[in-house]
Amino acid sequence: MSQADSATPFIQAVAEQVRIELAPLAQAIDQEGLYPGEFMRHLGALGGFGAALSAQDGGSGLTLAEQIEITTQVGRACGSTAFLVWCQSCCAWYLAHSPNAAVRGRYIRQVARGELLAGTGMSNAVKHLAGIEKILLRAQRNTDGSGYTVNGSLPWVSNVGDGHLAVVAASIEGEGYIMFAVPSTAKGFDTRGCLQFSGLEGTQTLNLRFHNVQVPNNDVLAHPNQFTEYIRRIKPGFVLGQAGMGLGITEGCLDVMRESNTSTAHVNMFLDDQEPDIAAQLALLKAQAATLARQAQEGVTPILPVLKLRAAVSELTLKAANSAVLHAGAKGYLALHPAQRRLREAVFVAIVTPALKHLRKEIHDIEQAASAAANGTQSDVALATH
Ligand SMILES: Cc1cc2nc3c(=O)[nH]c(=O)nc-3n(C[C@H](O)[C@H](O)[C@H](O)COP(=O)(O)OP(=O)(O)OC[C@H]3O[C@@H](n4cnc5c(N)ncnc54)[C@H](O)[C@@H]3O)c2cc1C
């Protein structure tokens, strides 16, 4: 039996939990900003965040491909919660690949099992490393060697708050960067609410503030001398894991289209993006995502196809959500129709880091550098930094 076949009962159990527990909450999550903490804990107990982790780390010893399938199952019912599943499983991914045994030992099993809920505040650092914006957290090395002192703030980080963990990165002047975990109880660490979003209000997205926060060495995922190699190792998984959100939302859009076609197929057939076309493109992207995810699990995937896949998922999700709204017609224009929620969820897939514009910039930079290197005309700086 292949690994994919042996995962089938597990994925089915996740799908069942989503159907019973999450689907009935989707409207309250979207309209009332309900944070689905209980569902997250139940999903964690089922193994929903640890597919890509070894049994020793509290996972199920499958791969990132199965983790993406889990996120897809969640996204089919609720894109907002699929983002939370990505946040949690991505923190587990970071911990699993940290070269530092102390931080892994401290948190990985609890994060993998959903006993400690965790957010990833890496947008700013990832955008900074891609040359898009300046870094917002600054660290100083403590002179007694105990760790670092961190100051600054991050505008939007989801799945954080009281009793949660946050994983973030900071720059250290003259040395590079560190990546570290910070518990909500750390002295000098504070959260504030954000202005209301048009969607994703159920993700507990907060503003993180650091005032002389002490980060002990055993909370450090990567010290400056480990950071470059570490980011290179985790980034494909960080980017690919998000594909599950878009693939799941697209499945939800197909559900809307099929439902609408039961009564109005005779006019829906004149729309541009038909259900079989979207379904075929979805199947292709799912297969590509699974292949790349298995390579990312082994640490052998190049970044360029990963960025292209993630961009293609954003584009398909936007297309599917637009088509779902058009299929549903006036009924789909009702505030509580799922097609409206899908539209806002789809836009989020294309704006959360790496946003579609960010992906296209990175792809452009890498391709320019590769062609310059091939022509022997310019340095391969972009190739080295991505
Ligand atoms: C609902 C919601 C949930 C989010 N959850 C997370 C999360 O869990 N973790 C996370 O790291 N990010 C999170 N983000 C941030 C997100 O990933 C993007 O960084 C954000 O949407 C801005 O991207 P952009 O491409 O529009 O920024 P750009 O248009 O490229 O940025 C414009 C300018 O705005 C400011 N700015 C924008 N984004 C940031 C940022 N992230 N840090 C610092 N300054 C910024 C900067 O001055 C920047 O130059 C969330 C955003 C939303 C709306």
- Give the pLDDT band (50/70/90) at residue 376: confident
Q: What domains does the chain contain, in order, with CATH numbers?
A: 3-116 (1.10.540.10), 119-224 (2.40.110.10), 229-385 (1.20.140.10)
- Give the pLDDT band (50/70/90) at residue 375: confident
Residue 224 identity (one-letter amino acid) = P
Does the beta carbon of 197 lie inside 6 Å of ligand 1?
yes
**pLDDT tens-digit series, residues 121-171:** 999 999 999 999 999 999 999 999 999 999 999 999 999 999 999 999 999
Rounded-to-integer distance, Cα 228 and Cα 311, Å: 24
For 162, the enclosing helix (H) or strand (E) is none
Give pTM, 2 decimals. Answer: 0.95
Mutating to test ligand 1, I would choose from 133, 135, 209, 356 the residue with most ligand atoms within 8 A of its C-beta, which is: 133
Does residue 59 register a pLDDT over 90?
Answer: yes
Mutating to test ligand 1, I would choose from 94, 122, 127, 242 the residue with most ligand atoms within 8 A of its C-beta, which is: 127
Average pLDDT, the chain: 95
Atom of ligand 1 nearest to the CA of 132: 30
Residue 384 has what pLDDT?
Answer: 47
Q: How far is CA 161 from CA 48, 164, 183, 189, in A?
A: 21, 5, 9, 11
Give the whole-number percent of the chain exceeding pLDDT 70. 96
Average pLDDT value for residue range 242-256: 98
**pLDDT tens-digit series, residues 197-227:** 999 999 999 999 999 999 999 999 999 999 9
Nearest Cα to Cα of residue 167 among 126, 199, 201, 197: 126
Residue 356 has what pLDDT?
Answer: 98
DSSP E strands: which ranges in the chain?
118-121, 137-141, 147-157, 165-172, 176-183, 189-193, 206-216, 220-222
Mutating to test ligand 1, I would choose from 132, 352, 362 the residue with most ligand atoms within 8 A of its C-beta, which is: 352
Average pLDDT value for residue range 70-95: 98
Does the beta carbon of 314 lie inside 6 Å of ligand 1?
no
Does the beta carbon of 80 lie inside 6 Å of ligand 1?
no
Residue 3 has what pLDDT?
Answer: 63
Residue nearest to atom 32 of ligand 1 (CA): 133
Rounded-to-integer distance, Cα 94 and Cα 337, Å: 37
Q: What is the DSSP string of 289-305?
A: HHHHHHHHHHT---HHH
Tokens 């002295």, residue? 187
Residue 1 has what pLDDT?
Answer: 57
Does residue 386 register a pLDDT over 70?
Answer: no
Residue 198 has what pLDDT?
Answer: 93
- Sorted by sequence, the CB contacts under 8 Å of residue 313 that are 6+ apart come out as 242, 243, 246, 247, 285, 289, 349
Nearest Cα to Cα of residue 85 among 122, 123, 131, 36: 36
**pLDDT tens-digit series, residues 24-54:** 999 999 999 999 999 999 999 999 999 999 9
- Sorted by sequence, the CB contacts under 8 Å of residue 310 that are 6+ apart come out as 239, 240, 242, 243, 354, 359
Q: Can you read off the two tokens belonging to residue 193? A: 């609410």
Does residue 382 register a pLDDT over 70?
Answer: no
215 forms beta bridges with: 148
Task: Kindly give the distance from the C-alpha atom of residue 78 to the centroid of ligand 1, in angstroms, as a whole number.
Answer: 21
Rounded-to-integer distance, Cα 18 and Cα 28, Å: 15
Does residue 16 register a pLDDT over 90?
Answer: yes
Does the beta carbon of 59 lie inside 6 Å of ligand 1?
no
Q: How far is CA 342 from CA 134, 222, 273, 310, in A?
A: 32, 37, 16, 18
Q: What is the DSSP string of 45-72?
A: HHTTT-TTS-GGGTS-S--HHHHHHHHH
